[in-house]
Structure 1
Amino acid sequence: MLQQIYPQVQHDFQYELNKDMHIAAAHFIPNDEAGKCRFVHGHTYFVNVTIAGDELDDSGFLVNFSRIKKIVHDRFDHTVLNDHKDLFNENDSDFFPTTEVVARTIWEVVQKELDGMKSAPKCVQVYVRETPTSYVVFRPKKQVEKE
Structure 2
Amino acid sequence: MGSFEITKRFRFEAAHRLDGLPEGHPCGRLHGHSYRVDVKLTADRLISPGFVTDFADLAPVQKYLDTALDHRLLNDVLDIEPTSENLARHLAEWFLDNLQAGLPGRLLAVTVSETETSSAEYRVEP
Shorter-chain TM-score bucket reads 0.7 to 0.9
Aligned-pair CA distance for 1:21: 1.4
Matches within 5 A, 1:100-115: 100-115=85-100
% identical equivalent positions: 27
Whether contact under 8 Å (1:13, 1:52) holds in the other structure is no
Q: Which amino acid aligns with 2:33?
A: H
Aligned partner of 1:18 among 7, 10, 17: 7
Match of 2:64 in 1: 71
Aligned residues: 120
CA distance in 1, matches of 2:28, 2:6: 35
1:128 paired residue number: 112
| Cα drift, residue 122 of structure 1 | 2.3
Q: Deviations along 1:10-69, whole A, 9 cap, x unmatched?
A: xx8865432211210001112133822122110001111112345759xx8825132232
Query: 2 CA distance for matches of 1:14 and 1:73?
Result: 31
CA-based RMSD: 2.7
Unaligned runs of 5+ in 1: 1-11, 90-94, 143-147
Question: Retained in 2: the 8 A contact 1:19–1:68?
Answer: no
How far, CA to CA, are the matches of 1:124 and 1:73 in structure 2?
22
Tell me, which stretches of 5 or more residues in structure 2 are unaligned? Answer: none
TM-score by length of 2: 0.76
In the alignment, what sits opposite 1:33?
22
TM-score, with structure 1 as normaliser: 0.66
SS, match of residue 32 in structure 1: coil
Mapped partners of 2:53, 2:99: distance in 1:
10
120-129 or 21-30, which deviates more:
120-129
CA-to-partner distance for each residue in 1:113-145, whole Å, 9 max, x for gaps? 12442x454221111111122111211233xxx
Specify the SS of the correspondent of 1:131: coil
